[in-house]
């Protein structure tokens, strides 16, 4: 389940309690989601979903909703 996998990544990268994870989270909502945290999240997603992101995609993922859009486009649906 993509949501559960993302919740785990957010827990690791941003120290976010998985129960607080939701699709409405925006970059800026989480203190730990800064430029360094963003790169940690990207690295964790590449590992988890076995994909690679290009620079535009990395810039595009400014919210959980956008992350799911990018992942879906790359064929990750589960």
Partner 1 sequence: MANVVDLLFATGKHDDPALLIGQRTVSFAELRDAVAKAARSVLEASAPGDRIAILADNGLEFVAAYLGIMASERIALPMPVAAEVDQVRGWEARFGVRAAFCDDRRGKTLAAAGVARLTPAQTGAFERHDTEPHTPAAIMLTSGSTGEAKGVVVSHGNLAANTGDIADYLALTPRDRCMVVLPFSYCFGLSLLHTHLARGASLVLNNAFLFVERVLDEIVTTQCTTLAGVPATYQLLLRRSTFLERKLTTLRALQQAGGRLPRESILEITRALPWARFFVMYGQTEATARLSYLPPERLADKLGSIGRGLASTGLEVLREDGSPIAPGSEEVGEVVASGPAIALGYWDDPEESARYFRAGRLFTGDLARVDADGFVFLVDRARDFLKVMGVRISPSEIEAVIAGMPEIAEVAVVGVADEESGEAVLAAVVPVGDRGCDPEAVRDYCNARLPNVKVPKHVVVVDALPRTANGKIAKQVLRRLSS
Site string for partner 1, 7-36 (x = CB under 8 A): -----xx-x---------------xx-x-x
Q: Are 52 and 36 in contact (CB under 8 A)?
A: no
- Which residue among 37, 66, 69, 76 contacts partner 1 (CB under 8 A)? 37
Taking the chain, what is the end-to-end CA distance rounded to the nearest angstrom?
A: 5
Q: Applying CB under 8 A, does 43 fall inside the site for partner 1? A: no
CA distance 58 to 20: 23
The footprint of partner 1 (CB under 8 A) covers 12-13, 15, 31-32, 34, 36-37, 40
């Amino acid at each position: 389940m993509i949501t559960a996998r993302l919740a785990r990544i957010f827990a690791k990268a941003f120290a976010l309690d998985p129960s607080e994870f939701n699709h409405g989270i925006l970059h800026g909502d989480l203190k730990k989601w800064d430029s360094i945290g963003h790169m940690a999240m990207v690295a964790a997603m590449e590992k988890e979903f076995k994909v690679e992101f290009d620079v535009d995609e990395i810039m595009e993922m400014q919210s959980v909703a956008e992350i799911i859009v990018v992942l879906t486009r790359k064929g990750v649906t589960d």
